[in-house]
Structure 1
Amino acid sequence: WARPCLTNKRKIFRILDSRLEGQYSLDSAFKVSTLAFQCLSAEPKFRPTMSEIVTELEHLQESCRGTGNSRGSSSAGRRSRRRSADDSSSRSKSKLKSVASDPRV
């Protein structure tokens, strides 16, 4: 039922939690909904991996924090930074860097 709303900026608000109103920008909401839409792809090769999802969400969180569009996200930011600091796999880190520069994301 939500799929048609995920790719339309005017319809996104039909599926967003109204209690979060004013805590995000329209652009951020659209980026997250686009990511969710990619996750719903029938073709597995077009779905992002969990590391790609985490990277995109962390990148979005950092950009929101820099522009002041994200209220109350500091505890979530601490959790994701802690998780990243605990990740000692160089392969994972290099994949995350390449995903961040991926134009599909």
Structure 2
Amino acid sequence: MLVRLDDGAPASLTIIRKPTQFFAQLRSYGFTEHSGASSPALADMSTGAFLDIVAGIFSVSRDGSFSYIVPDGVSRADWLAAMEEKAHDPRFGLMECDGEISHCMIEPLKR
């Protein structure tokens, strides 16, 4: 997903979330940072609270924050529901190359 750094620059945030752990990559012009955590509390955490945790961890490690980009005219609740739906969409995949993660979407075959 796209986020906006505190200096206004755009960045890409990719998150791999498992029931009790996550790994995330924040990437923008000139830097790539990784972070992760493991806790039983993550299993029952709502998507909104989870994304707030991820933002908080990067704000400490980067000494600067970022904000999630919620499209105009879309409520935060609807945006979070869309993020949850995408997280379970089997068409989205992740690839790793030289220590960086990139995501791709597999288009269904047209018959």
Q: Is the pair's TM-score, using the shorter chain for normalization, greater than 0.5?
A: no
More strand by percentage: 2
- Shorter-chain TM range is under 0.3
User: Given the two structures, how large is their TM-score scaled by the length of structure 1?
Assistant: 0.24
More helix by percentage: 1
